[in-house]
Amino acid sequence: MNKHLHVMIAALLVAGGCQQQTSDNQPATPNPAPLDKESKMPDDQFPGKKYRDAFAGLAAQYERKAQLEPDNAAVYADLSENYSTLWCFGFYARNDALPKAKAAAEKAVLLNEKFGFAHTAMGMVRLFDWDWIGAEREFVRAIQLNPKEPRSHHWYALYLSAMGRYDQAMEESTQAEKLDPSSLGFKTGKGAILYFGHKFEEMKKQMLATVAPAPDFPWGYDWLGMAYVQLGDFGQAIKTYQKAAELSDRTAEVLAGLGHAYGKAGRKSDGEKVLEELDRYAAQWYVPPVQMAYVCFGLGEETRAFELLEKAFQLRAWELVFIQVEPWFDSYRSDPRFINLQQRMNFPK
């Protein structure tokens, strides 16, 4: 389940990222990271295609702008964040996105070491590489240089939440929202901090307040669905995820939430259909294995779920950053397979 991504990046969607296109009004040709070159599934069936194409188009715009403004650190920092987004959403495979994100972040810092968001971009890259100490150093430096950049507080909040430092995470998330109170992304970010803090009633209220003025915002419903799952209201979770799936162009991570909810509700055949759909996508395109594992856990298929988590570990999947605080792992924290997996991630003590 690639849920954490939307917390970080929904601000770009709200800011118009999904309306950005190349100069000839066509999205840039994306790289859907095919895994099976013989597959006949057409590209228009890619899960979340319109969002993938939008971010690919935005990346192309930043690339062109970097050519026109090669000394502009801000352009490279934004380019880095955008490539990170394409990976976190599962639209690009890690090797197709993160080397570009890293190169752009390094360029931004090289051009202007005192530009705060350049360090935020570098913090993201270090976080993706599970360099826990290095990531925090970059986030702190970014905020020291520019305490008025909400995205820096937003990303640092996610880092702190992943490290189990709930109170600090909430402070940073609240600061991001204060700096940009209209951002649906930062409102969703606060919902995520509540989620990782296991404060599900508060999270539900936060997400209901987020989607009320934005009924077409899919990621708000995505997180709201998770609140309902944790509260045991599986019927409402399914309805909410169905709406999120429709609004998100059936993005894989939303489908994973729906499949998990079906499983928890005892609708095993419906959950298996979702898993089969994700399997079809994964045969041709990159689908983050944690998403698949999420459905398997909901269906009680623990052996396959842990196999997928091991695959995610080998890929250094983004979602595993939150393994210490992710509520849906709570039932497995005493499982030797889970303990071994978490120990190998070498989180700071």
CATH code for position 38: 1.25.40.10
Sign of CA dihedral 334, 339, 341, 343: positive
Digit-by-digit pLDDT tens for the chain (349 residues) are 444 444 444 434 433 333 333 333 343 444 444 444 454 688 889 999 999 999 999 999 999 999 999 999 999 999 999 999 898 888 999 999 999 999 999 999 999 999 999 999 999 999 999 999 999 999 999 999 999 999 999 999 999 999 999 999 999 999 999 999 999 999 999 999 999 999 999 999 999 999 999 999 999 999 999 999 999 999 999 999 999 999 999 999 999 999 999 999 999 999 999 999 999 999 999 999 999 999 999 999 999 999 999 999 999 999 999 999 999 999 999 999 999 999 999 999 8
Taking the C-alpha atoms of residue 328 and residue 330, their distance in angstroms, rounded to an integer, is: 5
Is 50 within the bounds of a domain? Answer: yes
Q: Which CA distances in Å does 265 have to 120, 215, 259?
A: 40, 25, 10
Is 349 within the bounds of a domain? Answer: no
As for how many domains the chain has, the answer is: 1
User: Which phi and psi (to 5°) does residue 342 adopt?
Assistant: -65, -40
**Structure-derived torsion over alpha carbons of residues 102, 4, 28, 82, reported in degrees to the nearest 10:** -40
Could you identify the residue written with the tokens 């849920």?
A: 3
Tokens of 292: 């698949």
Short-list 3, 6, 91, CA closest to 46: 91
Is 330 within the bounds of a domain? Answer: yes
Query: What is the reported pLDDT for 38?
Result: 52
338's enclosing H/E stretch is helix 336-344
Is 196 within the bounds of a domain? Answer: yes
Is 214 within the bounds of a domain? Answer: yes
CB 60 within 8 A of CB 22: yes
Query: What is the reported pLDDT for 10?
Result: 45
Is 161 within the bounds of a domain? Answer: yes
pTM for this predicted structure: 0.90
End-to-end CA separation in angstroms for the chain: 26
Taking the C-alpha atoms of residue 349 and residue 345, their distance in angstroms, rounded to an integer, is: 12
**Domain of residue 187, residue span:** 4-344
Q: What is the DSSP secondary structure assignment for residue 127, as one 8-state letter?
A: H
Side chain identity, residue 167: D
User: Which phi and psi (to 5°) does residue 183 adopt?
Assistant: -75, 120
CB 104 within 8 A of CB 67: no
CB 151 within 8 A of CB 176: yes
Q: Please state the three-class secondary structure of 41-76 as a single string.
A: CCHHHCCCHHHHHHHHHHHHHHHHHHHHCCCCHHHH
Q: ∠83-147-97 over CA atoms, to 5°? A: 5
Could you identify the residue written with the tokens 């920092």?
A: 77
Sign of CA dihedral 71, 77, 82, 88: positive
Tokens of 41: 């599934």
Side chain identity, residue 28: A
